[in-house]
Amino acid sequence: MSDKQLVETKELWLRITDLGYKDISKKEFAQEIQRIYIEETGQPLKGEISVVRSSEIDQIVKDENSSYDGTAIHIYSKEQDVNEMYVISQGTTDANDWLYNIRAMQAGVDTAQADSTNIFVKEAQKEFKERASVEEISSTIGLSHSLAHNNNTVSQLLNGNFDEIYSVNGAQSTYFQLYQNDYKFAEAVKEKFNISSTDYKAIYSLPQNELKTFAEAYYKEKGTVIHQVISSDDPLNALANIRGFFTLGDVTMIDTNPDKPGLKAIIDKIPDSEVKSLQDFALVYAEGFQNGGNNQGIEDLTGVNMDVVDKIMNDGVGAAVGTYFSKDLDDMISDVNKKVPPLLEKVTNITSNADVIFGELKNAGYITNAQKQVAVEELANIEKSLKIIEEKINSIDENRKMSEEMMKGTKYSPYAGQAAMASGFNVMAGDVDAAIAIYHEVQNMQASAKRLHEELGSVMEEIIASHGIVEMLNALGASKNQGYLGNDLVLMTGGNQEIKVNISAAVRMYQEGQQELQKKKTYITKIAERFQEHIIDDYENQKQKVLSDIRNIETNPCGQLPLLRKHVFLPYFSPVQIDKVEVTEQFNGLSGMDISHLMEGLTKSLTDNEDFLESAKSNIEQLFSKDRDLSILFNYVPGG
């Protein structure tokens, strides 16, 4: 039985994985799979393709915390003994995915997308079984990139969904995630490291190298079905040794950007203590998010109640007096004073190392000295804005305390009421002033972020490219004289005078050109038919009608007497009769109706275009004839 067609080569499953990001219809998706398969293997895919999207599964759509996105493919043919299923889980694509990254991989407390993967696999299997009227699906294979590797792998370790997993530049599993969601693993960790069953945070304080080694050994057998291809230049690879992450399965490392050393050596220089600091904050944010969404996560991290700040900004001094004297604002002030100082301490620690970090990027050739200076400067500006925000938050507290002291001095004064009113407005004015200042500092931080993007955007694009699939495809294809442009296959002749041909585009041009020429043939035929019908044939028909009328007149001369009376005065009872009628007819031929030259021109244009397409096809086939038979690519799709 053929049960692994789409993973016959790395290039094949990488292109199918990349296809999972395309926003195309299910019909187009199936057609693209067939195209990619025949380009990579030279043979048509066996079986019919069915597609199911995760957006069709209500249970996944309704999970607001997940944002999982996946596509399931079933390839089936009873006659050809094909019954295989693939699940392509998308990697990080939007802000919701990045927030999930923090909760899942930094904090290790969320497996919502892995849970959605489990649901999707089961629901897709159920749907495909019903469509194909089969009891089982022979193989279920996961294809993944980036975050999707974490989703597929964690789902596999927790639920055993897949027979095989193939991943590229994946975000690795974290033992923090698994500790919180795999009861048996958690019990094994507790027993091994003698930690309390009630303190679920104790795992974050364990010796990380020992814990990583233990997790790798514990899941080693389950990881044998995992196959990874990783770029040594991938930024996620730089995180491989950071606390929490551990790698499973067989791994093939590829240097996809030989001109750069990669980020791993730089990241490895960051002390584990600094990583733990970031992780601590991620953990706090994650817990808040799970309890109340993004605003709650921010509040748990900084103490700033976004609802209260928005209320102050929107109401202004003269409205909603209760806002300023509410317990919510008092609680926020207290919370900020407690949480912001240690947060700023960590931020300051990071910015104090910015010169070293960006210096390493400069030494590695990623950035220039000027870009380094901009990065250090703008990070310092962001730190400055954070400090001002802290000061303004503190000023709210100080303003309130001062107001309370003033009120004590006027407690028994006949002007106590006026003093209270004045004090209240003073507090409100101070609150609004602080809110406006915070707003402006946020704008300053956005401006710094914009400048960082302008200066380092191209650098980030280069780094991010090493995380992408296309750079990996080009690295793999280099030894085979082939490359990739997006999801198109590019062939190269090699040698001193290298010629590159986008085969996918050439085939599209040929096939679409043939389809257009077929339409033109139809149009030319219709023009000839319509001309014959409405001009030539109609002329002959009208001519025959006239000749028929002439014959009627000549064979029935007496019958023409009424017509004669219309034109010649004859007494009604006159014995006049018509004995004979002779009609002399003359038909002029159709003038200017010869369109043979037009038809010849249209036909010649059609022939020239056909010759051009066939010549281009033939030349491309001959160019690569030593290594490939490209004729099947040009001729496989109907119309080609």
| Structure confidence at residue 476 (pLDDT) | 92
Q: What is the pLDDT of residues 233-248, one digit of tens each?
A: 887 777 777 778 899 9
User: Which residues make beta-bridge pairs with 483?
Assistant: 490
Q: Is residue 508 located within the same domain as residue 620? A: yes
| Domain count for the chain | 3
Helical ranges in 325-415 per DSSP H: 327-352, 354-363, 369-409
Q: Is residue 252 located within the same domain as residue 321? A: no
Element (H, E) at 38: helix 26-41
> Are 500 and 478 in contact, with CB atoms under 8 Å apart?
no
Identify the domain boundary among 257, 277, 294: 257
Is residue 285 included in any domain, yes or no? Answer: no
Q: Is residue 311 located within the same domain as residue 167? A: no
Is residue 75 included in any domain, yes or no? Answer: yes
Is residue 23 included in any domain, yes or no? Answer: yes
| Structure confidence at residue 388 (pLDDT) | 86
> Are 92 and 69 in contact, with CB atoms under 8 Å apart?
no
E strands, 21-163, are 48-53, 70-77, 82-89, 139-146
Q: Is residue 450 located within the same domain as residue 543? A: no
Name the residue among 34, 144, 131 with its Cα closest to residue 87.
144
Q: Is residue 13 located within the same domain as residue 121? A: yes
Q: Is residue 81 located within the same domain as residue 151? A: yes
> Are 43 and 166 in contact, with CB atoms under 8 Å apart?
no
In this structure, what CATH number is given to the domain that contains residue 231?
3.40.50
Q: What is the pLDDT of residues 4-31, one digit of tens each?
A: 899 999 999 999 999 999 999 999 999 9
User: How do strand 82-89 and strand 164-170 relate by DSSP bridges?
Assistant: unpaired
Q: Is residue 541 located within the same domain as residue 593? A: yes
Is residue 413 included in any domain, yes or no? Answer: yes
Q: Is residue 29 located within the same domain as residue 155? A: yes
Q: Is residue 441 located within the same domain as residue 510? A: no
Residue 249's domain comprises 5-257
Q: Is residue 398 located within the same domain as residue 537? A: no
In angstroms, the CA 311 to CA 513 distance is 62
Cα angle for residues 99, 228, 87 (degrees, 5° grid):
65
Q: Is residue 213 located within the same domain as residue 347? A: no
| Structure confidence at residue 6 (pLDDT) | 93
Residue numbers of the chain with a pLDDT score lower than 50? 1, 95, 279, 283, 286-287, 290, 317-320, 412, 415, 638-640
Please name the amino acid found at residue 410.
T
E strands, 195-321, are 226-231, 245-246, 250-254
Q: Is residue 421 located within the same domain as residue 514? A: no
CA distances from 231 to 168, 258, 397 (A): 8, 11, 51
Identify the domain boundary among 414, 443, 465: 465
Is residue 471 included in any domain, yes or no? Answer: no
Is residue 286 included in any domain, yes or no? Answer: no
pTM of the complete model: 0.71
